[in-house]
Structure 1
Amino acid sequence: MAEQTQIGKSDLYVNPIGLGTNAVGGHNIYPNLSEETGKDVVRTALAHGINFLDTAFIYGPERSEELVGDVLKEEKMRKETVIATKGAHKFVGGDVVFDNSPAFLKQAVDGSLKRLQTDYIDLFYIHFPDEDTPKAEAVGALKELKDQGKIRAIGVSNFSIDQLKEANQDGYVDVLQSEYNLFKREAEKEILPFTKEHNISFIPYFPLAAGLLGGKYNKKTTFDDGRAKNPLFQGEAFERNLEKVDELREIANEKGAEIAHVVLAWYLTRDAIDVLIPGAKKPEQVVKNLKTLDVELTNEDVEKISRIFQP
């Protein structure tokens, strides 16, 4: 098993490669998902030493948490596993709104506990900020739940730097999860320095930029999903981005590694990043993700990659 790493200032210790489970029961995100395959993805992760699972109410909705809970119960591995989940989405009529009010967050945690079939959640995130609730008040509600033993660590997700500062005014925030990858490095300006200074762990999502940093696309590749509207995948920008990925390919070839593993290894060299949560739709992808830990980047490699993707 990989050496365990501490998540920020929390008392959570995990394999640096976790598993994002939005493709486990996330029927509202990916069409035609097999739930049995999703459960196999989780089983494979546990069997290969991955002990950090990241889910959320909105994946499904609710179904991802239920399937993760089912597998942990079947495998009798709840105590060995660190579960992260998120809440804030609320359905009002046919609309989804965000609610960070203390009453709603407490209700969200109770709902997640039930679906996950557990009496505590290791890391609970406010998934998105709302427009009304003072952030310190929302985090204060989670601190109450932490004191009650319902959660072990407090996270916020998709918070701006100002929202993060407000949320952390009492020093209660353990983790920030936000979008960050080699093409989208805005977090380096203020957010990463702040998280490092306050010993808040930063967990990036979309680390492979919708597959672009996986090295599997070329100039003739076309997309008929959300990527077709993503600026990274359009016209000349797409061609320039592919050229950058080709430079990564050289580094990967030297190391006998895949491009994706080199990219993920680079993130783990960032001061505030303790753990990554790449997703997987198939069990074999879980095993592949773990190969990241075999990639050794020199200081020169790290600087070269940083230069290639200079914002």
Structure 2
Amino acid sequence: MTSSSLAVAVPKVKLGSQGLVVSAQGLGCACMSNTYGLPKPELDMIKLIHHAVDSGVTFLDTSDVYGPHTNEILIGKALKEGGLRDKVQIATKFGIRVIDGQRDVCGDPAYVRSAFEASLKRLDVDFIDLYYIHRIDTRVPIEVTMGEMKKLVEEGKVKYIGLSEASASTIRRAHAVHPITAVQQEWCLWSRDLEDEIVPTCRELGIGIVPYSPIGRGFLAAGPSLVENLIEGDFRKSLPRFQNVDHNKTIFERVNEMATRKGCTAAQVALAWVHHRGTDVVPIPGTTKFDNFNQNIGAFSVTLTSEEMAELESFASTDGVKGERHAYMQLTWINSETPPLSSWKGL
């Protein structure tokens, strides 16, 4: 099987139980801007987005913090130039701000409204299909943030609501205010901390799961060679796991060995593992390269047996991975609890 020439039909699936239908694999667009260093040429990225949609990948993921702001503008241009608005499902996010070089999280209702209106303008669309809380503001009861998002749905400006990096209890509290359609969390072979509580909670409540970084931010595709070639400004240089390459390279090597046996790429094996975790799972691998995109959709043709799934999981056991999965673990689901609604007096 050749990774770049294989014709693959990308299926459509229901994401969550509220009615949203998306491609079974999305396209993470963050790396097209400066998340991983310098932004890529705009015309090239527009062509890639058009190629993705033509290939059946219609679920496009962005955020106001990517760039910041420029990623939403890029997607807006791509959709306008291709006349693609009716063919895609746009997912964007709010909540992370950069103030004086420091990351800040805000879930205040007034900020929800202003952030949404700004994203709508940058994307140059009339509504947003899926609007996520990007990170949880632990100063604001989740019910307060969700209350403003519910208004956006009632006004027809947002179709569906999502959460990113939220704990099981936060998901439940948010879902009680307005049904949550999707929860976006990091999930791949070496990032499985959501499996004990978050995945079962989502499945109990009928919430879809959208794994970001399903190929380990590229490490499970290329291993040490990726890290050696990271440019200055690439966010991945700050990741603890990327600073422990000598230890973690074994995981890539063993995944790659299985890929060789199966006649595919390591990236396809890693991504196929995510797809095999359930029909309610829609990963959003990101790329800036046509060949990598084609490899990613080729993962649909990789079948893993239960024995192979277990073998892969043994490669990347908790003991086998060195370093936290994120450079900002304080902004992940482990610290996403918010005060009770009864305590709210405003910021």
Instruction: Output the TM-score relative to the length of structure 1.
Output: 0.90
Aligned-residue offset at 1:277: 0.8
Supply the distance in 2 between the matched residues of 1:241 and 1:214 (Cα, whole angstroms).
13
Aligned-residue offset at 1:224: 6.5
In 2 relative to 1, CA 258–145 (structure 1 residues): closer, same or farther, beyond 3 Å? same
* Aligned pairs for 1:150-161 within 5 A: 150-161=157-168
Aligned-residue offset at 1:278: 0.7
Q: 2:242 aligned with 1:233, yes or no?
A: yes
> What is the aligned counterpart of 1:62 among 56, 69, 78?
69
SS at match of 2:176: coil
- Which runs of 5 or more residues in structure 1 are unaligned? none
2:12 is aligned to 4
Q: 2:157 aligned with 1:128, yes or no?
A: no
Aligned-residue offset at 1:210: 2.7
Which one-letter code corresponds to 2:194 in the other structure? Answer: A
Q: 2:208 aligned with 1:201, yes or no?
A: yes
User: Would you say the 8 A contact 2:13–2:21 is kept in 1?
Assistant: yes
The range that moved more, 200-209 or 217-226, is 217-226
Supply the distance in 2 between the matched residues of 1:209 and 1:91 (Cα, whole angstroms).
24
SS at match of 1:169: helix
1:303 is aligned to 310
Which one-letter code corresponds to 2:169 in the other structure? Answer: D
Supply the distance in 2 between the matched residues of 1:222 and 1:81 (Cα, whole angstroms).
33
> What is the aligned counterpart of 1:269 among 260, 269, 276?
276
Percent identity over paired residues: 31
> What is the aligned counterpart of 2:121 among 114, 118, 129?
114
Q: Deviations over 1:207-233 (max 9, x none)?
A: 222322114436995767554553323
1:21 is aligned to 29
Which one-letter code corresponds to 1:6 in the other structure? Answer: K
How many residues are matched? 308
Q: 2:90 aligned with 1:87, yes or no?
A: no
Supply the distance in 1 between the matched residues of 2:97 and 2:257 (Cα, whole angstroms).
46
The range that moved more, 209-218 or 145-154, is 209-218
User: Would you say the 8 A contact 1:88–1:99 is kept in 2?
Assistant: yes
Q: 2:47 aligned with 1:40, yes or no?
A: yes
In 2 relative to 1, CA 222–2 (structure 1 residues): closer, same or farther, beyond 3 Å? closer
Aligned-residue offset at 1:127: 0.9
2:3 is aligned to none
In 2 relative to 1, CA 196–220 (structure 1 residues): closer, same or farther, beyond 3 Å? closer
In 2 relative to 1, CA 231–273 (structure 1 residues): closer, same or farther, beyond 3 Å? farther
> What is the aligned counterpart of 1:217 among 217, 224, 233?
224
Q: Deviations over 1:34-77 (max 9, x none)?
A: 12222122111112111110011011111111111111111111
SS at match of 2:92: strand
Aligned-residue offset at 1:91: 5.4
Supply the distance in 2 between the matched residues of 1:156 and 1:272 (Cα, whole angstroms).
19
Q: Deviations over 1:19-38 (max 9, x none)?
A: 011123x2354215212222
Instruction: Output the TM-score relative to the length of structure 2.
Output: 0.81
2:261 is aligned to 254
* Aligned pairs for 1:273-288 within 5 A: 273-288=280-295
User: Would you say the 8 A contact 2:62–2:91 is kept in 1?
Assistant: yes
* Aligned pairs for 1:92-107 within 5 A: 95-107=102-114
Which one-letter code corresponds to 2:239 in the other structure? Answer: N
1:175 is aligned to 182
The CA RMSD over aligned residues, in Å, is: 2.4
2:150 is aligned to 143
SS at match of 1:27: coil
The range that moved more, 190-199 or 244-253, is 244-253
In 2 relative to 1, CA 29–272 (structure 1 residues): closer, same or farther, beyond 3 Å? same
Q: Deviations over 1:99-148 (max 9, x none)?
A: 21222112222211111111111000011111222102212221221122
In 2 relative to 1, CA 272–158 (structure 1 residues): closer, same or farther, beyond 3 Å? farther
In 2 relative to 1, CA 271–46 (structure 1 residues): closer, same or farther, beyond 3 Å? closer
SS at match of 2:216: coil
User: Would you say the 8 A contact 1:199–1:272 is kept in 2?
Assistant: no
Aligned-residue offset at 1:87: 0.8
Supply the distance in 1 between the matched residues of 2:54 and 2:197 (Cα, whole angstroms).
38
Which one-letter code corresponds to 1:114 in the other structure? Answer: K
In 2 relative to 1, CA 30–222 (structure 1 residues): closer, same or farther, beyond 3 Å? closer
